[in-house]
Amino acid sequence: MPGFSTRAIKAASRVPDVPQPPVNVPIYATSTFEVADATELAELLAFERPGHSYTRYSNPTHEALERALAELEGAEAAHVTASGMAAIHGVIVSILRSGDEILIPRAVYGGTISLARSVLERSGIGHLAVDTTDAAAVMAAITPRTKLLWLETISNPTTALADIAALAELAHDRGVLVAVDNTFASPALANPLAMGADVVVHSMTKYIGGHSDIVGGAIVGSAARVAEAREIVVTSGGNASPWEAFLALRGLKTLALRMERHSSNALAVATALEGAPGVGAVRYPGLASHPQHALACRVLRGGMAGGMVAVDLEGGRTHGERFLGRMRVGVHATSLGSVETLVSHPASSSHRQLADADLPAAGLTPGTLRVSIGLEDVEDLIADFVGAASPG
Ligand SMILES: Cc1ncc(COP(=O)(O)O)c(C=O)c1O
């Protein structure tokens, strides 16, 4: 009879049969999976047969989330990653080679700018920032080196919208692929693949997770495109965690409800702040004053415009800092897309890599606040924000 330790390890590793499917997808907290022979393992590692070998490559909890995301984005496939940045890196590096160039929006998540500057440049991949709300400017910026046009459905942090369908048509005519970061809209508000995008990425840290308790990302698109990006992610160690994939699956179940409340709260706060003392401008796609309001009404589902608002305070950097100190409901923290209202100051956080002189080109001022409206009672949010913005 084997010794106690041997018996304990074997006994505690037996996976039960589950005749009644659990209502929730289990967390497969295992780094590795037993195989019958070396051929099976080799085929699994090459993604040549269904199943799992090692969690850096795949895991059943990841697979459940990938299938859900693919379905909700109207795609063939998805691959989940450690973070939104791992997804962005995987997509870009799988498409571009040394000597190629990517076009990025002038107003784009600061981490994407950092990736271009600190990682892509070292590999000889160039980047050019363009105003993606201007199709003629995008076309003029395309050169024979351009391989990828990067867009955000709703830009971080300016809330500008690019016309994905029009730009995809023009880019494809020039042999340029289009990738869309759909983090701000989430699959509940927009499906960029249906508008002509070739691949979509998400930071699941935001609306998909929805509770500021996970960091994760996703790549969504055709099976071939996702497989190419997956190779980069798997090889560079950007895999998701089954624990966080579980929380992302839970988040998906309430995503539509949360987006409705984020959108209605944000519209009410943006409306109250427009013209309020101390406020220079409010940028929210749901406001008639937003430059792409008509486009937002056309492309965002159900007349919703999401929870992200950009507020330009009249008094610049000092006014922004005073606002953050005065808030009682909103939380001064980076990140977005959560149940609690989060407010950050891009000039000193997400866009700290830009000098003050470069902020206007990214659509920012030193006094711009990025506001991620949460699910609190809207009267409390309005009172908090109007009070904090007041110059007195
Ligand atoms: C639009 C957008 N894309 C990508 C990211 C990066 O996501 P993560 O922090 O999960 O890597 C962020 C993070 O703020 C973001 O706002």
Average pLDDT score over residue span 99-120: 96
Q: Closest ligand 1 atom, CA of 350?
A: 14
Q: Would the CB of 344 count as within 6 Å of ligand 1?
A: no
Pocket perturbation via mutation, ligand 1, pick of 205, 208, 233, 353 by most ligand atoms within 8 A of CB:
205
**pLDDT for 257:** 98
Tell me how far the alpha carbon of residue 17 lies from the centroid of ligand 1, in angstroms: 39
Percent of the chain with pLDDT over 90: 92
pLDDT of 348 strictly over 80: no
The model's pLDDT over 196-209, given as tens digits with 9 standing for 90+, comes to: 999 999 999 999 99
Amino acid at 69: L
Percent of the chain with pLDDT over 70: 100
Q: Would the CB of 83 count as within 6 Å of ligand 1?
A: yes
Tell me how far the alpha carbon of residue 203 lies from the centroid of ligand 1, in angstroms: 5
Helix H or strand E segment including 227: helix 223-236
Measured at the alpha carbon of residue 45, what is the angle toward residues 96 and 252, in degrees to the nearest 5?
70
Q: Which three-class secondary structure state does DSSP give residue 178?
A: strand
Q: Closest ligand 1 atom, CA of 156?
A: 1
Q: Which three-class secondary structure state does DSSP give residue 225?
A: helix
User: Of residues 263 and 366, which shows the higher confidence score?
Assistant: 263
**pLDDT for 362:** 80
Amino acid at 127: H
Q: Closest ligand 1 atom, CA of 184?
A: 1
237 and 367 Cβ atoms separated by less than 8 Å: no
Tell me how far the alpha carbon of residue 87 lies from the centroid of ligand 1, in angstroms: 10
Q: Taking the C-alpha atoms of 120, 137, 344 and 119 in order, what is their torsion angle to the nearest 10 degrees?
A: 0
Q: What are phi and psi of 325, to 5 degrees?
A: -70, -25
Q: How far is it, in rounded angstroms, from Cα 45 to Cα 40? A: 9
Sign, CA torsion 333/335/339/341:
positive
Helix H or strand E segment including 166: helix 164-173
Q: How far is CA 145 from CA 95, 98, 149, 353, in A?
A: 12, 10, 12, 26
Average pLDDT score over residue span 280-300: 98
pLDDT of 124 strictly over 80: yes
Average pLDDT score over residue span 361-371: 90
Pocket perturbation via mutation, ligand 1, pick of 203, 214, 343 by most ligand atoms within 8 A of CB:
203
Could you give the residue numbers annotated as active site?
Answer: 56, 109, 181, 206
**pLDDT for 349:** 79
Q: How far is CA 272 from CA 76, 159, 381, in A?
A: 42, 18, 10
